[in-house]
């Protein structure tokens, strides 16, 4: 009869717990911009806090229309409580770069702000 090495069990459980953690700033940023592009503004609003929450509310009030967009890259610089993410998106054949500010909350990372270009 074979016995399972207890160290292997502990390492496996630790890996599973770690990998099931909260999303990274990169993942939250990507999820936000994809939700907005897909017209899923309620989902997008759940990923926001502060000024970004009101930006999404303005999008909802305007009708939350979906649009074609592809995320090309997201790169973030983070501290323990804040992150700044640069997202390169492709829309209508053009690359557009946006910067998103995120804060860490008890629920995980939330987008707190991004500049609007009108």
What pLDDT, in 10s, does the model give residues 13-71? 444 444 457 899 999 999 999 999 999 999 999 999 999 999 999 999 999 999 999 99
Domain of 95, CATH number, reads: 3.10.450.50
Instruction: Confirm whether 13 is domain-assigned.
Output: no
Instruction: Confirm whether 89 is domain-assigned.
Output: yes
Instruction: Confirm whether 104 is domain-assigned.
Output: yes
In 21-107, which ranges are E strands? 70-78, 82-91, 94-105
Instruction: Confirm whether 102 is domain-assigned.
Output: yes
Instruction: Confirm whether 92 is domain-assigned.
Output: yes
Range of the domain at 62: 23-113
The whole-angstrom separation of Cα 2 and Cα 44 is 50
Domain count, the chain: 1
Instruction: Confirm whether 103 is domain-assigned.
Output: yes
**Run of H or E residues at 54:** helix 50-61
pLDDT of residue 20: 57
């Amino acid at each position: 009869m074979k016995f399972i090495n207890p160290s292997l069990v502990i390492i496996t459980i630790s890996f599973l717990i770690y990998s099931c953690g909260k999303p990274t700033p990169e993942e939250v940023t990507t999820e936000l911009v994809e939700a907005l592009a897909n017209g899923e503004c309620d989902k997008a609003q759940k990923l926001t806090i502060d000024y970004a929450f009101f930006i999404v509310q303005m999008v909802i009030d305007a009708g939350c229309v979906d649009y074609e967009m592809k995320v090309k890259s997201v790169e973030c610089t983070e501290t323990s409580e804040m992150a700044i993410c640069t997202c390169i998106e492709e829309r209508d054949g053009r690359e557009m770069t946006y910067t998103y500010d995120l804060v860490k909350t008890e629920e995980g990372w939330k987008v707190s702000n991004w500049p609007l270009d009108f």
